[in-house]
Amino acid sequence: MSLERDPKIKTLWKARIYPNGRRKDPTTGKASNKRETYWFEGDEAAARNWYVNLVRSGPRKAPPIAPTLEQAYPDFCVHYRTEASAGTYKDFLLTWERHLKRYFGPFKPQLLTPALFDAYKDRRSQQHYLPGKPLQKPEDDTAEESARRRPPSKRTVQKEITYIQSMLKWMIANNRCLPLTWRINNYKASQTTSPEKIIPSRRDMVLLLRACKGADRIYRPIFATAYYSGLRRTELLTLDGRRIDLRSWYILIRGKGEKNRTVPIVTKLKPYIRSAHQSGRLFTNPETGKAWHDLKKVMKRACKTVGIPAISLHTFRHAFAVHALQRGVSLRTLQLVMGHSTIKTTERYLHLVPEQLASDLDRKVKVSAPRQAGRKTSRDAALT
């Protein structure tokens, strides 16, 4: 029996034991020389402990010999492509090639440490990139571009680390590696929370729709659908006319995480849906015949016309939620329409509706406030 370290991989150990002992063969009278080989991955102390248990209790199911993250990457991509949205999957592929592959790729899960992730955070904080041109080298910058360089936000770095966490969870669940004995040190929630967004008023949103005129009029149904339905960007731009019921006035949406939900078509949205309705994709670029990809320039022009700061297409979804709460729509109804997994996500919009909070407090104060002394009520008058 023996326990040997692999000469190339310092954390890989080979044990050779006699599973049935060295019993003599009755026909030859010689001791059995049949040995079996088992493998283990870990440090020396863990390997010796495993070897002792192996000898005492006999062979059991051996721990998996983990591949490196780079070796596990192709199989993980097959899994992640079906689990994540198209946008998230595309971002993962880009992030892997630009940052994660050369830093985490050569490591096996058991060789990862909290210090390694802390070092990655520090390294990324020292890298400055040019917005809009992330691959441009600093020596190719103009003076203006050099001044615009900035480090990635902690929110971005945390997203990159989350991709590695997803890969590790998949490897553990599929018996590709042993569970980690430590936890990754993520940033605090306060450090990765997205900055507060300025939500345009209902009047500004209507003016934005009216600003789409002339050559930009073709974008008005897109923006109207975004505002009056609260769809996500991908849900909006891939909306299929075959999933719209014009008799009952609702839209069947397959949203984030392949979840289905029903979104009602409100009265103000009906004219836009009726005019744009067709079999197949509802909103397509007339020049290419394909789905719209980027409407930032159109949004910027419309916002400039109205006189408000530029907003993104996703801001229409935020505006839909905030304005619905202002009109008294319940949190539960809003959760179902927006497709939130938990109501906690919907509750985030409450702090953007201070008048709603003030109204609730006023009602509570009116109920609990004591009656002023000396002031007669209608009930008092009836008794006198």
Counting Cα atoms < 13 Å in the Cβ hemisphere of 306 gives 24
Residue at 378 is within a domain: no
- 230-280 pLDDT, tens per residue? 999 989 998 998 999 999 999 999 888 778 999 999 999 999 998 888 878
Based on the fold, state whether residues 172 and 85 are members of the same structural domain. yes
pLDDT digits (tens, 9 = 90+) for 121-174: 999 999 888 888 878 888 888 888 888 888 999 999 999 999 999 999 999 999
Both 172 and 224 in one domain: the answer is no
Residue 311 lies in a domain: yes
121 and 149 fall within a common domain: yes
Residue 113 located in a structural domain: yes
pLDDT at 263: 94
288 vs 301 pLDDT, higher one: 301
pLDDT at residue 382 in the model:
44
CA dist 260 → 333, 339, 341 (Å): 15, 8, 11
Whether residues 109 and 253 share a domain: the answer is no
295-354: per-residue pLDDT in tens? 888 999 999 999 999 898 999 999 999 999 988 899 999 999 999 989 998 988 887 776
| Alpha-carbon span 241 to 244, nearest angstrom | 5
- Domain-embedded: residue 62: no
- Do 50 and 80 share a domain, yes or no? no
Specify the number of domains making up the chain: 3
Decide if 302 is inside a domain: yes
Distance CA 39, CA 53 (A): 13
| Per-residue pLDDT tens over the stretch 48-59 | 888 888 777 765
Predicted pLDDT at 369 = 52
User: What is the C-alpha separation between 1 and 21, in angstroms, rounded?
Assistant: 10
349: in domain: yes
**Do 222 and 339 fall within a single domain?**
yes
**Average pLDDT value over all residues in the chain:** 84
Rg, the chain, Cα only: 31
User: What is the per-residue DSSP string for 218-248?
Assistant: GGHHHHHHHHHH---HHHHHT-BGGGEETTT
Instruction: State which of 168, 192, 216 marks the end of a domain.
Output: 192
> Which of the four pLDDT bands, split at 50, 70 and 90, describes residue 60?
low
Same domain assignment for residues 245 and 358? yes
- Based on the fold, state whether residues 262 and 360 are members of the same structural domain: yes
Same structural domain, 36 and 182: no
Q: How confident is the model at residue 64, as a pLDDT?
A: 63
Distances (CA, A) of 229 to 201, 234, 238, 314, 372: 16, 13, 14, 12, 47
φ, ψ of residue 247 in degrees (nearest 5) = -85, -45
Residue 64 falls inside a structural domain: no
186 and 246 within one domain: no
* Whole-structure pTM value: 0.62
In a domain, 236, yes or no: yes
Q: Which residues contact 351 (CB under 8 A, 6 or more apart)?
A: 357
Asked if 223 and 84 sit in the same domain, the reply is no
Indicate whether 216 and 360 sit together in one domain: yes
